[in-house]
Amino acid sequence: MFEKPARRADSFFTILYIDSGQPTARLGLAIAKKRVRRAVDRNRIKRIVRESFRHSQLTLAGKDIVVLARETTARTDNARLFLSLQQHWQGLSK
C-alpha cells in the first residue's frame, strides 16, 4: 500500500489510496504519535475518520485507503475535519 499509492492532501490529512478490485472499501489509519502527541486527540481523530468513512463507504467501493494526520489536525474542530474528509471522499469517488 505504501509503495505506489495515489495521494490527496490538505492541511489536515494525507490520504493514500489504491484500487483494490474488492467489492467494498477498506480503511487504514496511521495517526502518528509524532504528529498528534496526546492520546485523547489521536482517539478523537480516529473516531471522526471512521464515522466519516462509514457515511461514504458505498461511494468508495473498490478502494483501499490509508489516512495520515498532520500536526494541525489535533487543534482543529470536528466540523472542519468532517468537511475536509468529505471533500477527500468526493475526490476519490470520481
Looking at the structure of the chain, the number of domains it has is 1
pLDDT tens readout for residues 33-87: 999 999 999 999 999 999 999 999 999 999 999 999 999 999 999 999 999 999 9
Question: What is the pLDDT confidence band of residue 15, given thresholds at 50, 70 and 90?
Answer: very high
pLDDT on residue 89: 97
User: Does 68 map to a domain?
Assistant: yes
Q: What is the CATH number of the domain that holds 78?
A: 3.30.230.10
User: Does 1 map to a domain?
Assistant: no
pLDDT on residue 93: 85
User: Does 79 map to a domain?
Assistant: yes
User: Does 17 map to a domain?
Assistant: yes
What DSSP string describes 31-93? --TTTS-SHHHHHHHHHHHHHHHHHHGGGGTTEEEEEEE-GGGGGS-HHHHHHHHHHHHHHHH
| Model pTM score | 0.93
pLDDT on residue 52: 98
User: Does 46 map to a domain?
Assistant: yes
pLDDT on residue 21: 86
User: Does 56 map to a domain?
Assistant: yes
Residue-range definition of the domain harbouring residue 21: 6-93
